[in-house]
Structure 1
Amino acid sequence: MTQPFGPPVGFPLGPPLDPDAVHLWYTLSDDIAAAAAIDAYIGLLSPDERARHDRFLNERARHEYLITRALCRTVLSRYAGMAPTGWRFRANAWGRPEIDAPADTGVADLRFNLSNTRGLVACAVTHSGEIGVDVEAIDRAGDLLEIADRFMAPLEAVDIASLPADAQASRFFTYWTLKEAYIKARGMGLSIPLDKFWFLRDGGDAGSSARLVLAPDMDDTAAGWSFAQLQPTDRHLLAVARRNPAAATPGFDLKVQRIVPPACRL
């Protein structure tokens, strides 16, 4: 169940993370422009992260990367007794970042996933089960019908094309965010073909429940997954996917919190 949006808060608040809960933190990256905040966030980065930050030639991409890494480090520190600068990460075989910590540290059971798009950065955290989040700017340009025909499952592409032109973008990103959240939760990225799984929905808009369907040759079980979708702003759509922990009932308790300046203190 998705909880109503609470008031924007800064980092002092640290809600407990129950076993069946997913906490979703997001911020509007364009709101974070003060030089002091930028310098403080740069100070959180590891040497490797700082080097990658400095290599970005596009100013917006560089800014989104900085906010993404700073949000990740500060959010994780809300759930463990570790300073934001103390976190270490490793990449799995497909490049997904994961916490690099011994099992006896008390933080190895945290699972997180990150997503950013033009103007918005999100971090999803849970204690159990694989987690994935995707956020997209739904006003971005592009031939969405061509992308759907090339990469989505036929049922999804046909559904999008059947709609009036002014409704196609919303339906496209409804499917796209769900699909991206799923492959990110699997930790395998685009090594999973996007046309090998699809979603059946009980409604057309974000917030409607979605049911995963897998092609017979997919190495997974659809019933083991739960999804949530929401629209945090009028130009952004977001989806969360979680593999249900063993013996857990389908679904999860999703709590959503926006972080805004000037409360984004470290």
Structure 2
Amino acid sequence: MSPVISPKALSLGKLSLFFCPLEHELLTFEQADSIRRWLPEDELTKVSRYIQLSDRDKGLMVRGYLRGILSQVANGSIASNSHVHCENQSEDISPWEWRFEYGTKGKPRLIDEQRAKTGIEFNISHSGGWMLVAVIKQAQGEPVLELGVDIERYRQSTNIYPILNNYFTQNESDALLSLPEDKHRDRFFDLWALKESYIKAKGLGLALSLKSFSFDFTKMKAKELAANIEGESAKILNLFEGIGLNLQRGESIKSLDSWSVLFGNLNQDYRFAVSVGPVDSLSVVTHRINLAKLVSSTF
């Protein structure tokens, strides 16, 4: 089996971030046909509704990445320089066997039976040419985690200042505006990604006001993380952690110390954020996924 995902993704309690390129030119006819065989009728119908071929291809890729990654992580069938063996092959879950249910605002999760069997919580986000899949695998009996991720494409055209008043708290706006002007746009997208990740973790959509919670960067610290990215062994991702998450109730502010939030830059055009709780500490490993290897190795 060709290397697909680092064995570190198997560690219980570790947050694995899978970065998946979505250039539709990467999808061959054979891979598309394989992914279609993984999908139930309702998902095939959703994909077929896209008018543009490129959008249909991306729809297949999003679903293929998710199902393939879940099977790799759940089954332990992950190859590296040393062989990693899945002890109970009869318990393997194939990509076409995954079943999802959805919260009232559309947040996907595994059905209860598969959540209990695998201990997996996941969340996904995609923007432009990238998809991010976050997975945490927990031991049986551990409390259910709330997990949300967002990946955002940096946009020069966005007029950020009117948005500050509508969606950011006064403290967030003041802190952003106190930065040098050439840093305003970067901090805006940092905040936007963080807010999206927390909303997705809670599964409430825009029913959760963006002004009902805030992020504090005063204790933020940078951390360099070696990424398990094929062909880019020296690739370093800059993560920023130690960010405070607060609930806002009028003038009252309550710190959510049981949550971990972080953000980082995949490259100069894309940034990402993660919110997860309750956790005492959070260890992170990152991967870039090769679709061809994922599809071929998951059979």
How does the TM-score come out when normalised to structure 2?
0.75
Aligned to 1:118: 128
| Residues 14-93 of structure 1 aligned to structure 2 (within 5 Å) | 14-15=7-8, 17-30=10-23, 32-78=26-72, 79-80=74-75, 81-93=92-104
Separation in 2, partners of 1:174, 1:104: 31
Cα distance, 1:64 vs structure 2: 3.4
Separation in 2, partners of 1:242, 1:104: 17
| Contact 2:197 2:273 survives alignment (8 Å) | yes
Among residues 257, 261, 270, which one is paired with 1:227 in the alignment?
Answer: 261
| Contact 1:88 1:101 survives alignment (8 Å) | no
Q: 1:146 to 1:121 in 2, by over 3 A?
A: same
Q: 1:216 to 1:85 in 2, by over 3 A?
A: same
Alignment RMSD: 2.7
**1:115-160 superposed Cα distances (whole Å, 9 cap, x missing partner):** 0001100111113422111100113632222222211212222333
| More displaced stretch, 136-145 vs 231-240 | 136-145
Secondary structure of the residue aligned to 1:106 is helix
Larger radius of gyration: 2
Gaps of 5+ in 2: 76-91, 139-144, 223-238
| One-letter amino acid matched to 2:249 | P
Q: 1:96 to 1:24 in 2, by over 3 A?
A: same
Separation in 2, partners of 1:12, 1:161: 41
Q: 1:37 to 1:144 in 2, by over 3 A?
A: farther
| Contact 1:131 1:241 survives alignment (8 Å) | yes
Residue identity over aligned pairs, in percent, reads 24
Q: 1:64 to 1:221 in 2, by over 3 A?
A: farther
Matched, 1:167 2:191: no
Gaps of 5+ in 1: 1-8
| Contact 1:17 1:126 survives alignment (8 Å) | no
Among residues 111, 126, 130, which one is paired with 2:146 in the alignment?
Answer: 130
Cα distance, 1:63 vs structure 2: 3.6
| One-letter amino acid matched to 1:265 | V
| Contact 1:23 1:255 survives alignment (8 Å) | yes
Q: 1:115 to 1:106 in 2, by over 3 A?
A: same
Separation in 1, partners of 2:116, 2:5: 23
Aligned to 1:3: none
Separation in 1, partners of 2:244, 2:173: 17
Separation in 2, partners of 1:171, 1:12: 32
Cα distance, 1:211 vs structure 2: 0.5
Aligned to 2:248: 215
Cα distance, 1:49 vs structure 2: 0.9
| One-letter amino acid matched to 2:150 | D
- Residues matched between the structures, number: 252
Aligned to 1:5: none
Among residues 210, 215, 227, which one is paired with 1:194 in the alignment?
Answer: 210
Q: 1:59 to 1:160 in 2, by over 3 A?
A: farther
Separation in 1, partners of 2:166, 2:62: 30
Aligned to 1:241: 275
Aligned to 1:6: none
Separation in 1, partners of 2:48, 2:255: 41
**1:52-82 superposed Cα distances (whole Å, 9 cap, x missing partner):** 1111235554443322211111111011311
Secondary structure of the residue aligned to 2:240 is coil
| More displaced stretch, 142-151 vs 59-68 | 59-68
Separation in 2, partners of 1:25, 1:264: 12
Q: 1:96 to 1:260 in 2, by over 3 A?
A: same
| One-letter amino acid matched to 2:190 | T
Separation in 2, partners of 1:61, 1:165: 37
Q: 1:200 to 1:13 in 2, by over 3 A?
A: closer
Cα distance, 1:201 vs structure 2: 0.7
How does the TM-score come out when normalised to structure 1?
0.83
